[in-house]
Structure 1
Amino acid sequence: MNLKLELVVLPVSDVDRAKAFYEAAGFRLDLDKAVSADWRAVHFTPPGSECSIIFGKGLTSAVPGSTQGLYLVVSDVEKARAELVGRGIEVSEVFHDGGGLLFHGHEGGGITHELEGQGRIAGGHPDRADYGSFATFSDPDGNGWVLQEVTQRFPGR
């Protein structure tokens, strides 16, 4: 059985503000449909992604901004960061983890990022190892995104 993640619901407080943010970030608008004053769905897909996001009114009871750790895999984290910054998105500087995780035989770099203040080291992974360099940004409600550099996937991916 194949199970493909294709849609993630994001909780937002202001649908139009979130729509403007994701348009500015370069996500493709797939749908903006309101069927009543109490229900509206806005659907976006990140460039090159098979998984999309949806937000709106009447879609979720989750607290706006409570979705964290949405990973966008990129082949060049510096370039992806620069493009988002050029689009007016506030993005952290590129960093790698210093939490002592063993990664490709090297101490000090994991396959997932550390939270702010938890061992982030400025700059990309020293060996530019796959899965080792990150940058983060948030939408206006605080839903958290991670850019992660991967040029060669682990086997089986």
Structure 2
Amino acid sequence: MVDYKLELIILPVSDVAAAKAFYDKLDWRLDVDIQGEGGFRAVHYTPTGSHASIIISNGLTDAAPGSTRGTYLVVDDIEVARADIASRGIEITEVFHEAQGGIPSVNKEGRTPGLAPERASYFSFAIFSDPEGNEFILQEITTRLPGRV
């Protein structure tokens, strides 16, 4: 069996300096900030408690700036995590769950305000985006499915 560990997600941005100011507010660990010819810049961050990282860049991918959707950040307590992000001056949705259960869809009409019934693990969410529109979904997981670490 081969282990495949998610290491890095590239988030395309047009204005790296503005994006960096946003990610600095999150107080994630700044690992690398490199600049190159022609205005190229890549800034590497690791979210608190994560093994995987992100790079914000204006030249590592041909994806449109702000086009990354559905990057999940798993938290133990979504209310505490949401309050932390909001306290940093970052716009974030209220906590919600899907009316039919499951993961958030682009159909916002299916979202029900508040925590999942009985605060079921995996089913409470909040969403925020960086200034260019790259989206993060907070997901509360308190009890993992069998086989998950």
TM-score by length of 2: 0.94
Aligned to 1:145: 136
Question: Per the alignment, in what secondary structure is the counterpart of residue 12 of structure 2?
Answer: coil
Once the two structures are TM-superposed, the CA of residue 116 in structure 1 deviates from its matched residue by: 5.1
Structure 2 counterpart SS, 1:148: strand
Amino acid at match of 1:113: P
Instruction: Give the alignment partner of residue 127 of structure 2, picking from 113, 117, 136.
Output: 136
Q: Does 1:119 align with 2:115?
A: no
Amino acid at match of 2:124: S
Give the structure 1 partner of residue 30 of structure 2.
29
Identity of aligned residues (%): 56
Distance 2:8 2:97 in 1: 28
Q: Identify the range of structure 1 (34-43 vs 118-127) with the bigger mean alpha-carbon deviation.
A: 34-43
Residue aligned with 2:18, SS: helix
1:7-156 matches, cutoff 5 A = 7-98=8-99, 100=100, 109-110=101-102, 112-115=103-106, 117-156=108-147
5+ long unaligned stretches in structure 1: 101-108
2:145 alignment partner AA:
F
Structure 2 CA distance for aligned equivalents of residues 38 and 138 of structure 1: 24
Shift of 1:46: 0.6
User: Tell me, which stretches of 5 or more residues in structure 2 are unaligned?
Assistant: none
- What displacement does 1:13 show? 1.1
- 1:82 to partner: Cα distance: 0.1
Give the secondary-structure state (helix, strand or coil) at the position aligned to 2:32.
strand
Runs of 4+ deviating beyond 3 Å: none
Matched position secondary structure for 1:85? helix
Distance 1:63 1:138, change over 3 A: same
* Partners of 1:52 and 1:116 in 2: CA distance: 28
Query: Residue 62 of structure 1: CA displacement?
Result: 0.6
Deviations 1:61-89, CA, capped at 9 Å, x for gaps = 11011100000000000000000000111
Give the aligned CA root-mean-square deviation in angstroms. Answer: 1.1
Q: How many residues align?
A: 147
Q: What's the TM-score, normalizing by structure 1?
A: 0.90
Shift in Å at residue 119 of structure 1?
0.3
Give 1:32 deviation, angstroms.
Answer: 0.4
